[in-house]
Structure 1
């Protein structure tokens, strides 16, 4: 994603485990043959979620499982930037780099790197260039 261009911005809300709802911003980047959506918030309870849509510029997904084409990561602020990889879960999404629009609902189980510790992440986000 070195040559990705910011395509749109928006909002995200999600929960980690059974915790409170966390709110933040989301940005969509067009990487040519893939799209990445990066979210974040400034609270110490939050962190960042990254969703990678590989192999295209437009996706219409319904209950799509995580795969090599669809990757989810959670980066909790309290864990010193360590990535927790999505190991299972589903995504429903309309994502278009051409139209600069993303509407996504996600639920995935993330596992801490080199650990058996897991947590469930559930949320939704949108990004658009029409704000």
Structure 2
């Protein structure tokens, strides 16, 4: 009998429909507000995108290649990211970090990438083909 009493006490009271509906109404209001805020944010971002596009249009009109301007913008963003990462290096880690960076620079300058090797091979093959072609004339 004691087990049944404990089991009955563990079952929560059934949810009051009025309470559930009030909670759901609040939830729905938040979701509607979120959707509205998201729409306003997207509209604002669209305005920024249009302004950015205007800069590239003006750049082209003034003789600045938009493709190169985009590359410069991307490089600047990457450099900012690098500086941000570098600023997180602690003072007691700095010497080790510099050594790692130096080792990486040495490694990268000594070993050409596969793409570089293919380009060099293609250039050599093209040069040889041109030489062979011009020798036969």
Q: Same fold (TM over 0.5)?
A: no
Range into which the TM-score falls when normalised by the shorter chain: under 0.3
| TM-score (normalised: structure 1) | 0.18
Q: Which has the higher contact order (CA 8 A, sep 6+)?
A: 1
Q: Which structure has the highest strand share of the two?
A: 1
